[in-house]
Amino acid sequence: MSTNRKLRLGVLASGGGTNLQSIVDQCQALKIDAEIVLVLCNNPDAGALQRAEKAGLPNTCINHRDFADRQSFDRSVVAALLKADVELVVLAGFMRIISEVFLDAFPQRIINIHPSLLPAFPGLQVQQKALDYGARFSGCTVHFVDNGVDTGPILAQAVVPILAEDTEETLSARILQQEHKIYPHAIQLIAEGRVTIEQRQVRIAYAEKSETALINPPL
């Protein structure tokens, strides 16, 4: 067990929380030098809340429906994160747009995972979009959050092939497998203090080739 102080994570989720679970598992297995100090959901029915409860993690729901606008919701979320001394905000299926209020409170300290190889297919329902386009590959991207939609500097990506028989469900599942690998890995790179952003390029100190560009086992 590392004696280093651990990176304090706040994980935000709106849904089932499988990406949260992969981070919980890696923290518990001491594979990453981080600890989740708050799980925050905007939706009281989020499965992520139950996962947090089960793992014995501090968790809270701040329901966006209780707020008049995005800024006041974000101010409340930021207050909860600051109170828990969160150092890195990890969006794990958090279905709310992040406002400037939030970005200003955690500059270059908010990361997201997106189920496509950005800049291809930003936005929603992107697995279906990749199928409809007839792309031969898709994947997932861990990126820093900026004020655009899925436009921030890229930390890590993983590729998966798209197969002729794929449906939205099978492709999503194949991508999700990779999400569960690269998201904890990207968090560990930050925990190790090896990540810097130059312009919009994310540099990893002492990187192995395979650390930020993962390929699903060869076809």
Q: How far is the CB of 165 from its own copies (least distance, A)?
A: 10
Q: Is the dihedral of CA 180, 183, 185, 187 positive or negative?
A: negative
> Element (H or E) spanning 161, and its range?
strand 154-161
Residue with tokens 């076809």: 219
Shortest Å, Cβ 173 to its own copies:
16
The CB-of-208 to its own copies minimum distance in angstroms stands at 8
201 binds its own copies (CB under 8 A): yes
- Residues of this chain, 42-101, that bind its own copies according to CB under 8 A: none
Decide if residue 153 touches its own copies (CB under 8 A): yes
Q: Tokens 């794929």 belong to which residue?
A: 166
CA 207/CA 95 separation, integer angstroms: 32
Stretch that binds its own copies, among 6-14, 52-60, 82-90, 113-121 (CB under 8 A): 113-121
Which of 58, 119, 123, 193 binds its own copies (CB under 8 A)? It is: 119
- 46-55 in b/e burial notation, b at 16+ Cβ within 10 A? bbbbebbeeb
User: Which residue shows structure tokens 């007839």?
Assistant: 134
Where on the chain is the footprint of its own copies (CB under 8 A)? Answer: 117-121, 131-137, 139, 141, 153-154, 156-157, 159, 161-164, 199-204, 207, 209-210, 212-215, 217-219
